Amino acid sequence: MAAGFIDCHCHISVEEFAEDVGDVIKRAKEAGVKALVSVTEHVDEFEKVIQLHKRYPDFVVPCFGIHPVQGCAPQLQQHSVTMQDLEPALPFFQKYKNEIAAVGEIGLDFTPWYAPHSEQRDEQQKVFRSQLDIAKQLGLPVNVHSRSAGRQTITALKEQGIQHALLHNFAGKPSVALEGVQAGYFFSFPPAISRNEQRVLLVKQIPLEHICLETDSPALGLDKEVRNEPKNITISCEYIAKVKGVTPERVAEITTQNALKLFPRIHRTVKL
């Protein structure tokens, strides 16, 4: 497959990959992956993803972002993000503004057990909009989480004047997704989509010219109990091809073009 694949949303800097990241990257390359757009969720990951970019400068494309749910380490209680979670991250955006390819993973997560109260949802909006402002100041696209908040997320993006956005693992209504398409946004889907029949209509309605591929590794693979890897991007590609009634080669070609359009700094890293 000449075009290869670009994994537009994965978490290569997390602990789950710490022991064998070299092998994971080798397997990804063997599967035809040309680049990993590696997002972060909390400030402790920022330096880690930069070090991986330095170690694999032709493959790992770093992003910085504070996720709407914090406390990802096993010993920490998860909580809805606050401005206090964002503040320690702010200097890093400036320090590495020339290295990062996007601001992400950022967004909204209104899942009831994370954000049961309006105060928490309002605070998430503040953190999200603050990071959208950072992206605009740096001239960068955004890599966006929108669980149980698809409409609110797209509304915020449009209100903030964001022109370049990826809505990863989008699970909102097709009508809401099409508002994002109208705004010029892209949507990406991980391997787990192939075990969720409810997404068929969504994938059918979003034009291929607005779709990218992702794995969201180490999560959202075919099997919930098995660590997902970037090599599994082929599963996303084949599923989208089946739903769209086109060849996997066509999906690989168009989604790679879309990724390069959305994340122009990939060109600095990857030789396609």
DSSP string covering 22-85: HHHHHHHHHTTEEEEEE--SSGGGHHHHHHHHHHSTTTEEEEE---SEE--STTS--EE--HHH
- For residue 197, what pLDDT is reported? 80
- CATH number at 50 reads 3.20.20.140
- For residue 194, what pLDDT is reported? 87
Map 127-184 to HEC letters. Answer: HHHHHHHHHHHHCCCEEEEEECCHHHHHHHHHHCCCCCEEEECCCCCHHHHHHHHHCC
- For residue 1, what pLDDT is reported? 39
Helix then strand then coil, in percent of the chain rounded to 5, is 50, 15, 35
Which two structure tokens, joined as six digits, stand for 85?
């979670």
- For residue 196, what pLDDT is reported? 78
220-235: string of b/e by CB count within 10 Å (b at 16+)? bbeeeeeebbbbbbbb
- For residue 91, what pLDDT is reported? 98
Reported pTM = 0.95
Point out the residues of the chain with pLDDT beneath 70. 1-2, 72-76, 272
206-264 pLDDT, tens digit per residue, is 999 999 999 999 999 888 889 999 999 999 999 999 999 999 999 999 999 999 999 99
Which two structure tokens, joined as six digits, stand for 42?
């909390």
Q: What range does the domain containing 174 cover?
A: 5-269
Strand 102-109 to 142-147 pairing: parallel
Q: What is the DSSP letter of 243?
A: H
Q: What is the DSSP letter of 270?
A: -
Torsion of CA 268, 52, 42, 231, to 10 degrees: 80
Beta-carbon-side half-sphere exposure of residue 73 (alpha carbons within 13 Å): 6
- For residue 71, what pLDDT is reported? 81
Label residue 37 exposed, middle or buried (CB < 10 Å: 0-12, 13-18, 19+): buried
Number of structural domains found in the chain: 1
- For residue 72, what pLDDT is reported? 57
